């Protein structure tokens, strides 16, 4: 009987020791970092909102047509890449939620050095959330790229990471091709950290590197548009 009691006591002490060990073991206070391919479900709402303010652009005319992407910044203006502005007077057709609504637009302000342009719409487009720009970013930050890939006139979503900066541009490694110009790079909160602009040619060994206009450059450009200098006022619209 004493042997049984002694065995039970030893087992009880062992159990209490194990319990005390688990209680003392430190608990992680930092969440594990998000993987670069963070998955659609994790930022589904952010992508949904970004699609609301992302528009597809088609420049139509007798000579040629080419296509790209843009972002609604308010109910009557779209931000896109300056190289999307037609040089031969072609109309700019802005597709709001493709297949549901098309409006026409004309460029009213542009900067070739920043490769940015503002297009004014001929009618109002009211949505719940317009593009919001976030200048803060970090190397390795996962982003979602939304665009009009290959000019197919339908949204295309891909993932990548911010790989660094070069000459004022953000660099990333996600999928981006012709037609994506002017489209947003969004973070996990749905804020725009960059605008699709260029990629190295396929002949280059680092063809996977893509460049985007940073939110910092975009904010400076929009400030210049809203508060033009005296010289700009005298010369007129910068298009």
Domains and CATH numbers, the chain: 41-121 (2.40.10.10), 142-222 (2.40.10.10)
Positions of the chain with pLDDT lower than 50, given as ranges? 25, 28, 30, 32, 233-236
Give me the pLDDT at residue 176, please: 87
Q: Do 58 and 91 form a contact (C-beta atoms < 8 A)?
A: no
Give me the pLDDT at residue 38, please: 56
Give me the pLDDT at residue 235, please: 46
Cα 125 to Cα 134: distance, rounded to the nearest angstrom: 23
Facing residues of 120 across strands? 77, 106
Give me the pLDDT at residue 30, please: 47
Give me the pLDDT at residue 87, please: 76
Give me the pLDDT at residue 99, please: 61
89-119 burial code (b ≥16 CB/10 A, e <16): ebebbbbbeeeeeebebebebbbeebbbbbb
Facing residues of 107 across strands? 119
Report angle CA 179, 158, 188 to the nearest 5 degrees.
Answer: 120
Cα 34 to Cα 29: distance, rounded to the nearest angstrom: 15
């Amino acid at each position: 009987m004493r042997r049984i009691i002694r065995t039970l006591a030893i087992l009880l002490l062992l159990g209490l020791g194990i319990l005390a060990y688990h209680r003392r073991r430190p608990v992680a206070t930092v969440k594990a970092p998000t993987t670069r391919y963070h998955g659609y479900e994790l930022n589904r709402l952010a992508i949904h909102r970004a699609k609301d303010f992302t528009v597809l652009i088609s420049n139509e005319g007798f000579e040629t047509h080419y296509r790209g992407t843009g972002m609604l910044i308010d109910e009557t203006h779209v931000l896109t890449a300056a190289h999307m502005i037609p040089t031969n007077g072609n109309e700019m057709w802005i597709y709001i939620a493709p297949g549901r609504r098309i409006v026409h637009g004309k460029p009213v302000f542009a900067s070739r050095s920043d490769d940015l342009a503002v297009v004014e719409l001929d009618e109002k487009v009211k949505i719940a959330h317009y593009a919001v720009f976030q200048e803060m970013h970090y190397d390795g930050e996962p982003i979602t790229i939304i665009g009009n890939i290959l000019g197919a006139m339908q949204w295309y979503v891909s993932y990548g990471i911010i790989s660094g900066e070069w000459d004022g541009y953000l660099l990333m490694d996600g999928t981006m091709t012709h037609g994506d110009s002017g489209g947003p790079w969004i973070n996990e909160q749905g804020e725009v950290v960059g605008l699709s602009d260029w990629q190295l040619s396929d002949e280059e060994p680092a063809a996977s590197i893509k460049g985007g206009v940073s939110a910092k450059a975009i904010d400076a450009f929009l400030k210049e548009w809203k508060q033009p200098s005296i010289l700009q006022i005298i010369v007129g619209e910068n298009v």
